[in-house]
Amino acid sequence: MYRGCCVRHLYSSVIDSWGTKVEFSLLAYLWFLIMLASMALLTRDRLGLYLVPPFFATLSILHFLPDVAIAQPYAVVIGSVVGASVGTLVTRFGHGPVVAALGAALAFIVIHLLRAYHPPGVALALYPALLHTPWVFVVLPFTVLAVGSAAFFSQLSPHWPSYPLPLRKRAPSQHSNLE
């Protein structure tokens, strides 16, 4: 009996401390549905269904984590497009799981160097080598539409999270030649 009480207490502590506490509105449900429908229109083939996981991850990040760096417009658009581009580029050397893994690793490095890290962008690098299809032409319009619509709804609805973060002004550099 005592052991069960401690396990329940531990479980509730874990849920209270580490569990997600998000609010999901009808507007958010509609946005997810419209965005996934737009993705279906952009792909126009059944292979586009494979893009649902990284695109749904992007939408989730935009809605539930709008104030983190990986959700900001630069990271979402550049990270996703570069990931898909690197994945498409490595298919010039072959296809299959090994090439896909190489593409994802290379995309991770390039996206990191560009300071545009967006986890679904790394995932998008896998798809061209696994499915023999370049996705760059779907990724760019989708990510621009996702970022733009999230910013639009942020301004339109008080129930939508604030997005994107405002740009910070850079402090003058100590090594500036303009002084």
In this predicted structure, the answer to whether residue 49 has a pLDDT above a threshold of 80 is no
pLDDT(137) > 50: yes
What pLDDT sits at residue 134?
65
In-domain check, residue 70: yes
Cis bond upstream, residue 161 (ω within 30): no
| Rounded distance between C-alpha atoms, residue 45 and residue 92, angstroms | 23
Instruction: Report which of residues 128 and 138 the model is more confident about.
Output: 128
Q: Quick one: average pLDDT of 136-156?
A: 90
Name which residue leads in pLDDT, 125 or 136: 125
Residue 72 Cα distances to 29, 121, 144, angstroms: 21, 13, 11
**110, HSE (Cβ side, Cα atoms, 13 Å):** 20
Is the residue at 77 inside a domain?
yes
> Per-residue pLDDT for 87 more than 80?
yes
pLDDT at 179 over 60: no
Q: How confident is the model at residue 117 (pLDDT cuts 50, 70, 90)?
A: very high
The per-residue pLDDT for 40 is: 77
Closest listed residue to residue 122, CA positions, set 39, 43, 57: 57
Residues in CB range of 164: below 8 A, 6 or more apart: 66, 71, 72, 73, 147, 150, 151, 154
For the chain, the domain total comes to 1
Residue 164 lies in a domain: no
pTM of the model: 0.82
Q: Residue 113 above 90 pLDDT?
A: yes
Averaged pLDDT for residues 68-78: 96
On average, the pLDDT of the chain sits at: 86
Domain boundaries, position 144: 24-156
More confident residue, 151 or 11: 151
pLDDT of residue 103: 96
Task: Answer whether residue 174 is part of any domain.
Answer: no
Q: Is residue 42 part of a domain?
A: yes
| Segment 135-155 mean pLDDT | 89
